[in-house]
Amino acid sequence: MKHIFVINPVAGKKDSTGVIKEAVSNKFNSEDCVIYVTKKPLDAWRFVRDYAAAHPDESLRFYACGGDGTLNEVVNGAVGFQNAAVGCYPSGSGNDFLKYFGKKKDFLDLDALVDGEIVDIDLLRFSDRYVVNILNIGFDADVVSKMIKYKRLPLVTGKGAYHLGVIVSLLSKMTHKFKITLDGEPFYEGDGLLCAIANGICYGGGYYCAPEAKVDDGKLDICFVRSLSRPRFIRLIKYYKNGTHLATPKVARYILYKKGAEVVIESPEPVNYAIDGEMGASKRIAIKVEPKAMRFIVPKGLKKGANA
């Protein structure tokens, strides 16, 4: 078995390359592991794909050393290779996908991670790319585009950068026009604030938009928030953050939430979206679930789906 650590040096607040290399070298003999430091966006995707293709007869475990964006790239590189599994040795500002299973510190236990259990998880397919955690569109994606600018500021954490993005976005146009279908049936048409298409349960440094999501149920979760005033939004956002929005009547009246297999979102103008924190913009998004598409490594001793 070969253990391959893919390090994103620009993930998080500081470069963790040296710390990760030291931890890995203390754990493995050089012939048992590979360390690769990415050089640019999408480099992790390319490296993992090429490495897996070049070693078809070897059992491979890839570890994404970064945030949700790095994990997304590593998964996209490894998907389709039956001899490959993916884990995460987190060094990003959010690492939200891991919160489905436990805490960041659980995945930083290198011994437990390397000896971890492999479980099959769903992925979401969007165009030629897979989504590991969440695709969000609208206001929240507008926030993410601003968060990217703020998260490198001194003393600003990943959560703090997200909060700053929310405040600035509140001063801008908040709503967009949407036409949404779920499994070929009308779901919503009109103005709305945001929409999250989820495999995992949270994003944005800990906003639990999809508390009912399961990563292995063969379904995606759609959480759509209707238009509401700024004062009301400010009063209600805490429920969206802590995942109680579906169980709180004064909030739930503004939310449509359902499970399905395929979602199509259309808008007359390009709308910002984020795929596991990576930005884009489009007038049309079609996304569907790919059941049990990836083998994921859960640290030894960590209950499978601890938060599920």
**140 neighbors 204 (Cβ within 8 angstroms):** yes
Instruction: Record the tokens describing residue 217, joined without a space.
Output: 């149920």
pLDDT tier, 75 (very low <50, low <70, confident <90, very high otherwise): very high
The pLDDT > 70 percentage for the chain reads 98
Q: Which residues contact 250 (CB under 8 A, 6 or more apart)?
A: 236
pLDDT digits (tens, 9 = 90+) for 242-274: 999 999 999 999 999 999 999 999 999 999 999
State how far the Cα of 112 lies from the Cα of 93, in Å rounded to an integer.
22
pLDDT digits (tens, 9 = 90+) for 80-133: 999 999 999 999 878 999 999 999 999 999 999 999 999 999 999 999 999 999
pLDDT surpassing 60 at residue 231: yes
pLDDT digits (tens, 9 = 90+) for 125-172: 999 999 999 999 998 888 877 777 787 778 777 678 877 877 887 877
Instruction: Record the tokens describing residue 68, joined without a space.
Output: 């949700």
Instruction: Record the tokens describing residue 186, joined without a space.
Output: 């009308």
Write out the chain in H/E/C secondary structure.
Answer: CEEEEEECCCCCCCCCHHHHHHHHHHHCCHHHEEEEECCCCCHHHHHHHHHHHHCCCCCEEEEEECCHHHHHHHHHHHCCCCCEEEEECCCCCCCCHHHHCCCHHHHCCHHHHHCCEEEEEEEEEECCEEECCEEEEEHHHHHHHHHHHHCCCCCCCHHHHHHHHHHHHHCCCCCEEEEEEECCEEEEEEEEEEEEEECCCCECCCECCCCCCCCCCCCEEEEEEECCCHHHHHHHHHHHHHCCCCCCHHHHCCEEEEEECEEEEEEEEEEEEEECCEEEEEEEEEEEEEEEEEEEEECCCCCCCCCC
Give the pLDDT confidence score for residue 148 in this predicted structure: 74
pLDDT digits (tens, 9 = 90+) for 19-34: 999 999 999 888 889 9
Give how far Cα 289 sits from Cα of 158, 199, 209, Å.
28, 8, 18
Looking up tokens 């991670």, which residue turns up? 113
State how far the Cα of 166 lies from the Cα of 172, in Å rounded to an integer.
10
Give the pLDDT confidence score for residue 176 in this predicted structure: 93
Q: What phi and psi values does residue 168 have, to the nearest 5 degrees?
A: -65, -40
Please tell me which residue, 32 or 73, carries the higher pLDDT value: 73
Question: Taking residues 194-208, what's their average pLDDT?
Answer: 93
Instruction: Record the tokens describing residue 130, joined without a space.
Output: 């897979």
pLDDT tier, 205 (very low <50, low <70, confident <90, very high otherwise): confident
Question: Taking residues 278-298, what's their average pLDDT?
Answer: 96
Give the pLDDT confidence score for residue 143 in this predicted structure: 80
pLDDT surpassing 50 at residue 308: no
Give the pLDDT confidence score for residue 305 in this predicted structure: 53
Question: Taking residues 228-247, what's their average pLDDT?
Answer: 93
Q: Could you tell me how far CA 157 lies from the centroid of its own chain? A: 18
pLDDT tier, 303 (very low <50, low <70, confident <90, very high otherwise): low
Question: Taking residues 294-303, what's their average pLDDT?
Answer: 92
Quote the mean pLDDT of the chain.
Answer: 92
Give the pLDDT confidence score for residue 1 in this predicted structure: 92
